[in-house]
Amino acid sequence: MPPRYTRRLALLAVIVFIAIGLFIVEQRPQHLLETHRFPSLHDLVHDAGTPSKQETHNEELDPCTVLSPQKNFIDLRGLSVIENHHGQDVRHLLWSSRGYDLGHNYTIGVCLGAIKRNLLGSADIIDGLNASEVGAYYIEQSLGRYILMGQVTSKPVYKGRKLTLTYENGTQCNGMTFKDGTPLRRRTILTFTCDREMLTKAHVSYVASVDECTYFFEVRSHLACPTAAKADNLAAIWIFILILLAALLVYFSGGVLYKALKRQSLHL
């Protein structure tokens, strides 16, 4: 094949590759920057029990993972356990935070129980709740008993643009009831903030408490940042295959076209 035809076919192949790449990029979801605005405590308290629009889309995801409103994948499982090279859980992670206004030391689990396994049988929890379902707690020093701040769940949800994890149905709040006389129970609201510059895995900070009944904590971690879901790896493979097929199509069609033009020129 003459050099000029080779150069033209190579240029045509490059143009086809660029066109396919641009098309694929346009079809992928656009990742918007995450805002770090902390929502008001009033919004979090009143929205914690309200189902989010994203919850129905997250039902098929693995526990402790979520899709943001921009369809970004977030995996918080690294805040729950430490895995070995074989993907097996070797140690559960528990997080501590000090509430200086109330003088309590809080222990929190992310998507898993906050009480160590060797203490499940001996933990004395007020109201006699199941120790294995404790998502967050503190110990009342005067009683020496565990105060449950909410039962664990592994379904993080977005409230507006803020990623949250809410533990509900904890120990009864002191003397607080609904209008029908049903006692209010403690709950904990964790909000997650993406922080790519942290040197540690995460930092959990106590924010506030409302009447010692609803507790707020902020979790800053790079694990709260959007990442590529496992399905994206397969998508990358298909993209490569499509580009390769396009290259082969251009190569062979160019050869066929050149032979046809050559035969036509010989007949002239």
Domains of the chain: 65-224 (2.70.130.10)
Q: Which of 18-27, 68-77, 97-106 has the lowest mean pLDDT?
A: 18-27
Task: Determine the pLDDT at residue 102.
Answer: 82
More confident residue, 19 or 170: 170
Interval 177-203 mean pLDDT: 91
Q: What percentage of the chain carries pLDDT values higher than 90?
A: 32
The pTM score is 0.65
**Mean pLDDT for all residues in the chain:** 77
Q: Say if residue 184's pLDDT is above 50.
A: yes
More confident residue, 185 or 52: 185
Nearest to 136 by CA among 111, 163, 158: 111
Interval 50-72 mean pLDDT: 72
Q: Please give the angle made by the CA atoms of 112, 113 and 116, to the nearest 5 degrees.
A: 125
Q: How far apart are CA 198 and CA 205, in angstroms?
A: 14
